């Protein structure tokens, strides 16, 4: 590889990583317009393994908007990102796949403020498919593969003395 090709690859990796980060931030902040803008025109997402829906970016943004009202506190942690670039119709490496693990602590709305622990934590793997467009890298596909979840258990009352 030449230095120019290596630099282009590094720049693409950074740009793809930025899209994944912006995805997490848009969901955590409830910025559904930013969420929709991360997707290519034909982009889709599939949250069925986590009890959700599958559809185009607009449909998913609408569903997330309603669902995330239950969780005013949420923080996606997307880690172990593996990026692979591919060719689209013998083009110049205009597709990418990212497989990344996630942990997502969330807190239900309406809690009394006594506890600061999350009420709901889930984890699994994302599979992102990206496409280079005239506007930069965009999501063509997001598939959530939830592997586990935990809900807060009521704490036992202290024994009376």
Among the listed residues 11, 3, 67, the one whose alpha carbon sits nearest the alpha carbon of residue 35:
67
pLDDT at position 97 is 95
- Residue-wise pLDDT tens digits, 124-151: 999 999 999 999 999 999 999 999 999 8
Provide the whole-model pTM.
Answer: 0.85
3-151 CATH pick, 2.40.50.140, 3.10.450.50, 3.40.50.880, 2.40.50.100:
3.10.450.50
Quote the tokens at residue 94. 């205009």
Is the pLDDT assigned to residue 11 strictly greater than 90?
Answer: yes
Among the listed residues 137, 125, 135, 144, the one whose alpha carbon sits nearest the alpha carbon of residue 60:
144
Residue 75 binned pLDDT confidence (cut-offs 50, 70, 90): very high
Place of tokens 């796949």: 97
- Rounded CA-CA distance 158/153 in Å is 15
The H or E element that residue 15 is part of is helix 3-29
- What percent of the chain is modeled with pLDDT above 90? 70
Average of per-residue pLDDT values in the chain: 88
- Residue-wise pLDDT tens digits, 30-59: 999 999 999 999 999 999 999 999 999 999
More confident residue, 135 or 1: 135
Is the pLDDT assigned to residue 160 strictly greater than 70?
Answer: no
| Extents of the domains making up the chain | 3-151
């Amino acid at each position: 590889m030449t230095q120019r090709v290596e630099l282009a690859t590094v720049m693409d990796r950074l740009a793809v990583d930025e899209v994944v980060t912006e995805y997490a931030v848009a969901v955590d902040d409830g910025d559904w317009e930013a969420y929709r803008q991360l997707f290519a025109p034909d982009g889709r997402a599939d949250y069925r393994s986590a009890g959700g829906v599958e559809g185009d970016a607009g449909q998913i943004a609408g569903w997330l908007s309603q669902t995330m009202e239950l969780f005013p506190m949420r923080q996606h942690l997307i880690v172990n990102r593996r990026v692979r670039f591919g060719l689209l119709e013998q083009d110049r490496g205009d597709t990418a796949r990212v497989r990344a693990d996630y942990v997502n602590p969330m807190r239900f709305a309406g809690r009394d403020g006594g506890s600061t622990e999350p009420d709901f934590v889930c984890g699994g793997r994302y599979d992102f498919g990206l496409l280079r467009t005239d506007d930069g890298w965009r999501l063509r596909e997001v598939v959530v593969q939830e592997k586990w979840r935990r809900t807060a258990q009521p704490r036992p009352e202290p024994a009376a003395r």
